[in-house]
Amino acid sequence: MANVIITFKIMPESLEVNLDNLEKDVKSLISRYGEVGKIEREEVAFGLEALNFIVIYDEAKGSTEFLEDNIRNVDGVMSVEVTDVRRQIG
């Protein structure tokens, strides 16, 4: 099986959530299941920013639903959404 590159968009609960700490906690969690390739911050509205995690994930592990559920349980996370999935070539 190949690797897939998945982008997770993670929304914090509020403006008061420390994004640096949230980024560190989510990165630690994701690193147990795949490799974090890049983290980007995306302005949403009124000062609220989302975290976009680009993750290399083994396709043999199957669905990302288990990982998404674990990310939702991190303190400060309001929602998580898979916004892109691509098969790694090379």
Choose between 84 and 89: higher pLDDT. 84
The pLDDT of residue 82: 96
The pLDDT of residue 66: 94
Q: Rounded to 10 degrees, what is the CA torsion of 74, 85, 33, 50? A: -20
Q: How many CB atoms lie within 10 A of CB 82?
A: 15
Contact 44, 81 (CB under 8 A): no
Longest Cα–Cα distance in the chain: 42
DSSP state of 50: E
Per-residue pLDDT tens for 33-46? 999 999 999 999 99
pLDDT band at 65, cuts 50/70/90?
very high
pLDDT band at 62, cuts 50/70/90?
confident
The pLDDT of residue 88: 84
Kindly give the pairing relationship between strand 77-87 and strand 3-12. Answer: antiparallel
